[in-house]
Structure 1
Amino acid sequence: MKVEKDSELDQATLRIIVAGCALLWFGVIGFLPGQSIDPYVPVIIYISLFMLGSILLRMAIARWPGHYPARRILGMVYDYSGTCYGLVVGGEGALPIYAVMVWVNLGNGMRFGSRYLAIATGLALFALFMVYLLTPYWRAQPYMVLMLMITSTVIPVYAHILLKRTRLASEQAIAANLEKSRFLAQASHDLRQPIHSIGLFTACLREADLGVDERRLVDNIDRSLLNVSQLFRSILDLYTLDNGRVQPKYETLHLGQLLADLVRQNTEAARWAGVELRLRPCNHWVVTDPGLLATMVQNVLSNCFKYAAQRPVLIGVRPRGQGLAIVIYDQGRGIAEEHLPRIFEEFYRVRQLRDKDVEGVGLGLSIVKRLGQLIDLQVMLRSQVGRGTAVTLHGLPQAAPQRLRNRDEARQNGLLSGLQVCLVEDDRNVLLATSALLERWGCVVQAESSAEDLRSDCDIIVADYDLGTRASGIECIDSIRQQRGWEVPALIITGHDIEKIHAALHDRNIAILSKPVRPVELRATLRALRDMPTAATHRAAVAEATTRSGTG
């Protein structure tokens, strides 16, 4: 949780520090050659009492934090009273205390705003005038006093002008940032749709009975689309990180299973790059954010596919200290030592002559580093030219083993034959692509472009979040579940901010996928929804009721 900075408490802390410096100053000048400590004893005693009062004031601010205008003005009066007394009693030796007056003036203005700057300036001028009246040395130096009073006026006025300009520039920057956020939000939604639909259409083509040449063309389309999709995701990841909208959600998970899933999801990309992905099995359980960790590993693998093509890549897990480390080795060309200090900078790429066909803008490793900071993972990179590169994600805390969900690979690899899916999507291309792909997988699809007056006896609901002005995907799912009288498994596919959708769900037990969705993700999610206990129980009940009606 982000804690708001307490400016008044900072000012109180600085007051104690300055009082300590003043005490040290008078202690030093009292022992200089030709000087006596006696004239400064009253000042030293007063500053000691002033410091004690400052400590008590700070304790009160810490005990009752907040914005109290009267307390702030009281603090200014307290500061100017102390400096005024020091200047009166200390004579010419106390002139450096005038710097404290300037600090009080500017400090209050910078911390609390122009209104307090004006009040502080008025109090400073009054304090200087009182010192002039009470100090013979100052009355003998009228031009010096005039200069100090002019300085005490001009500096705050200039500070006020700077504050006003800074505030205006800050407001303009905030407005521009909001406009950028709105533009990126809309652009990301509009760009996700075509990327999403193209990916589904190419998946449909892949399921068809194609010849060698046609399949090679589909591979080229898919590979290009994957590069665009990864670049798009990297830009969005960077944007969400810059806006502080990524918050870790920790879970206990089987690390070997997560890595095995990532290897399966990258099978096609590895094949296109000529990379043999090797995973050393592990049975460790860890506590981390699975989505952020998967993104980190995915970005490292993407770099391996680009810069270590036609070479094997090894993924392993090693104990390291009190935790575990994921290590990803490639046997690519390696990175020269002079580039290593900048390898995690945004948009920094190690370019060589042969890299002209390598896609990317140099965001992958910078995102890995920043995500690692979010979930307390250290990211280390070792590389040797001609030998390859090793990226280590270190600091995964181990967890006690739990019951591992049984995963029947034969069943997982099969099609979703006979599964009745209600698909609701208002974008025609996405509707056609998704419907065609689901039918290729053996599903019985009820395709709808609107949620209005919708009725369905489906096994699973797949809905876009944004269905126009009349209903959202969540409202569509709620309506069908109410009609059916049970919690039909449901999936929201969205081009909007995932965090926003999570907040709107309110524990409705609805899965979410972010566009552009890879077909392997969609198929795995549908299988998981099909195998949910509520879905299995309902299918068994329907089958039993059908059997009874048939025998009756």
Structure 2
Amino acid sequence: MTFEKNTELDQANLRIIVSSCAIVYISALGFLPGHQVGTYLPVILYYIVFLLASIGFRYVIALWPGHYPARRILGMVHDYTGTSFGLVVGAEAALPLYAVMVWINLGNGMRYGSRYLAIATGLALLALMIVYWLTPLWQAQPFMVLMLMITSTVIPLYAHLLLERTRKASEEAVAANLEKSRFLAQASHDLRQPIHSIGLFTACLREARLGAEERRLVDSIDRSLLNVSQLFRSILDLYTLDNGRVLPRYQALNLGDFLADLARQNVEAARWAGVELHVRPCSFWVRADPVLLTTMIQNVLSNCFKYGARRPVLIGVRPRGKGLAIEVHDQGCGINKEHLLKVFEEFYRVRHQRDKDVEGVGLGLSIVKRVGQLMGLDVAIRSRVGHGTSVCVYGLVRVKPPHNLNIQGDVYVAGLLTGLKVCLVEDDRNVLLATQALLERWGCVVQAESTGLNLVSDCDVIIADYDLGNHATGIECIEHVRQQRGWAVPALILSGHDAEMIQAQLHECQIAILSKPVHPTELRATLREFSPSPLNAE
């Protein structure tokens, strides 16, 4: 939810401050040589009444916020009346109050726009004419009055030109930002598809009977693809954070299971880096967004694999204050003290000798810091050169384990996928072929479809792309098959679109979502959780 700034309330606050300063100024005049307090007493009393009226006016604005043109114009009249009274009664000594007129004029224009600037300018000129008519001193100085009137006209005119330029620049910036958003959304989808299909084809090669040299080449391809995928996701994460589109979705989370699963997902990356990845078991439950927390810890682990290669990495949980902290320790080259305060800045990288082959652009820890702020978590880092680095994510709130824990041992498949009947719906031919080939190597029986129109299937699991062209979405395809079968067939959406947008359309459909590019181990782990028979038939 976004809140519009109450500019009228800001103007009311400033009115109270300015009127208080005016009371102090007029009061001080009475103590100057040649002046008497009694001369300025009517002005002081009037401004005290003016201040009380301004406080009441502010209360009304705070109680009934919104755009009320009549109230805004009434505020201008109130301001000009008070200023004019001071100028008339205070005579020559009150001339500095003219600056208040300029503030009223520009303040209303800058806050409310050019239309109100024009109204304020007209009222200012009228107020000056009234002061001139009522003040003999001003009548004796016609050129001074002419100068004040010209000033009251030229300054608002210049402010109007600036406002127009600012408005046009703002509109151009908004249009450019929208265009950038559309471009990045489309580029994100289009780039995810080939990365996703290359990853699946590589996984197919890995499943084949390869010699040592061929397996080494496949490992090299996979490592390079992983680096591209991580960089791609970092840039998209940063873009999503900049647009303010990320909102935490909290749930009770078993930290022990969460970290163990994260370690399993990083087995291959750790093997390529020569890292022994250790997770200290724990049984704590916390309130957190598992997706955002995964993003944080994954970025930390990626840095460990880059800068702590061929050395062990330890992940553990320990109490810290009233909450819990996740700590990741590596035994890499470490970071000098002068760099520690800068490592959370975007695109900042600590350079070491012979690290030109280390992939990355310095986004990982900045994303960790910003995602942590979304969830109210803090991130600390300590390091010793030559001994390693420790990153601590703390502030996790402990909760009690939920009562309705699902015991999945008897219901879900825990072993291989042999015989699992999969209906695969994907309109991108390369992705369709890659996914089908990989699933068949895992032992699945695959029904591959390039469209969801008039789909008939007796599958155990549906895997569908979200965007299936102009005819249907993956969600509609899944609902069609479920209606045909008469029970909630386990289903999975693979998509290169924004997962938050798709999640909002699912409601209570019980459909899993994986964002492309999907790592094969992640896909296999998800499929193993699906039942091979209609045990959950309705």
Same fold (TM over 0.5): yes
Question: What displacement does 1:451 show?
Answer: 1.1
Q: Which residue of 1 aligns with 2:496?
A: 495
Alignment of 1:227-246 (within 5 A): 227-246=227-246
What is the one-letter code of the residue matched to 1:42?
Answer: P
1:376 equivalent in alignment to 2:383: no
Distance in 1 separating the partners of 2:377 and 2:184: 29
Question: Contact 1:529–1:535 (CA<8 Å) still a contact in 2?
Answer: no
SS, match of residue 259 in structure 1: helix
Q: Which residue of 1 aligns with 2:394?
A: 394
What is the one-letter code of the residue matched to 1:12?
Answer: A
What is the one-letter code of the residue matched to 1:513?
Answer: L
SS, match of residue 454 in structure 1: coil
Question: What displacement does 1:497 show?
Answer: 1.0
Alignment of 1:264-303 (within 5 A): 264-303=264-303
Question: What displacement does 1:412 show?
Answer: 6.8
Question: What displacement does 1:33 show?
Answer: 4.0
Q: Which residue of 2 aligns with 1:97?
A: 97
1:150 equivalent in alignment to 2:164: no
Question: What displacement does 1:513 show?
Answer: 0.8
Alignment of 1:303-382 (within 5 A): 303-382=303-382
Distance in 1 separating the partners of 2:97 and 2:529: 73
Distance in 1 separating the partners of 2:386 and 2:88: 75
**TM-score, with length taken from structure 1:** 0.94
Question: Contact 2:425–2:432 (CA<8 Å) still a contact in 1?
Answer: yes
Deviations 1:248-300 (A, max 9, x none): 10011101111111111111101111111111111110001110001000000
Does the C-alpha gap of structure 1 residues 484 and 406 become closer, same or farther in structure 2, counting only changes over 3 Å? closer
User: Which deviates more from structure 2 when the two are superposed, residues 344-353 or residues 244-253?
Assistant: 344-353
Q: Which residue of 2 aligns with 1:455?
A: 456
Q: Which residue of 2 aligns with 1:546?
A: none
What is the one-letter code of the residue matched to 1:459?
Answer: D
Question: Contact 1:132–1:138 (CA<8 Å) still a contact in 2?
Answer: yes
Alignment of 1:511-550 (within 5 A): 511-530=512-531, 535-538=534-537
Question: What displacement does 1:23 show?
Answer: 1.2
Question: Contact 2:488–2:536 (CA<8 Å) still a contact in 1?
Answer: no
Q: Which residue of 2 aligns with 1:122?
A: 122
Question: What displacement does 1:507 show?
Answer: 2.2
SS, match of residue 382 in structure 1: strand
Does the C-alpha gap of structure 1 residues 132 and 252 become closer, same or farther in structure 2, counting only changes over 3 Å? same
Question: What displacement does 1:417 show?
Answer: 1.8
Question: What displacement does 1:388 show?
Answer: 1.3
Q: Which residue of 2 aligns with 1:429?
A: 430
User: Which deviates more from structure 2 when the two are superposed, residues 90-99 or residues 223-232?
Assistant: 90-99
Question: What displacement does 1:354 show?
Answer: 1.2
Q: Percent identity?
A: 71
Question: Contact 2:487–2:534 (CA<8 Å) still a contact in 1?
Answer: no
SS, match of residue 287 in structure 1: strand
State the number of aligned residues: 536
Question: Contact 2:269–2:305 (CA<8 Å) still a contact in 1?
Answer: yes
Question: What displacement does 1:313 show?
Answer: 1.1
Q: Which residue of 2 aligns with 1:71?
A: 71
Question: What displacement does 1:519 show?
Answer: 1.0
Distance in 2 separating the partners of 1:150 and 1:348: 53
Distance in 2 separating the partners of 1:122 and 1:537: 74
1:479 equivalent in alignment to 2:480: yes
**RMSD (Å) for aligned C-alpha atoms:** 1.6
Distance in 1 separating the partners of 2:281 and 2:519: 25
Deviations 1:187-246 (A, max 9, x none): 111100010011111111112222222111111111100000000000100111111111
**TM-score, with length taken from structure 2:** 0.97
What is the one-letter code of the residue matched to 1:477?
Answer: I
> Structure 2 regions of 5+ residues with no counterpart?
none
What is the one-letter code of the residue matched to 2:105?
Answer: N
Distance in 2 separating the partners of 1:317 and 1:184: 37
What is the one-letter code of the residue matched to 2:8?
Answer: E
Q: Which residue of 1 aligns with 2:219?
A: 219
Distance in 2 separating the partners of 1:484 and 1:88: 88
Distance in 2 separating the partners of 1:60 and 1:251: 41
Deviations 1:530-550 (A, max 9, x none): 28xx94244xx9xxxxxxxxx
Does the C-alpha gap of structure 1 residues 83 and 251 become closer, same or farther in structure 2, counting only changes over 3 Å? same
1:62 equivalent in alignment to 2:40: no
What is the one-letter code of the residue matched to 1:446?
Answer: Q
Question: What displacement does 1:405 show?
Answer: 4.5
User: Which deviates more from structure 2 when the two are superposed, residues 422-431 or residues 59-68?
Assistant: 59-68
Question: Contact 2:487–2:536 (CA<8 Å) still a contact in 1?
Answer: no
Question: What displacement does 1:408 show?
Answer: 5.3
Does the C-alpha gap of structure 1 residues 407 and 302 become closer, same or farther in structure 2, counting only changes over 3 Å? farther
Question: Contact 2:275–2:313 (CA<8 Å) still a contact in 1?
Answer: yes
> Structure 1 regions of 5+ residues with no counterpart?
542-552
SS, match of residue 535 in structure 2: helix
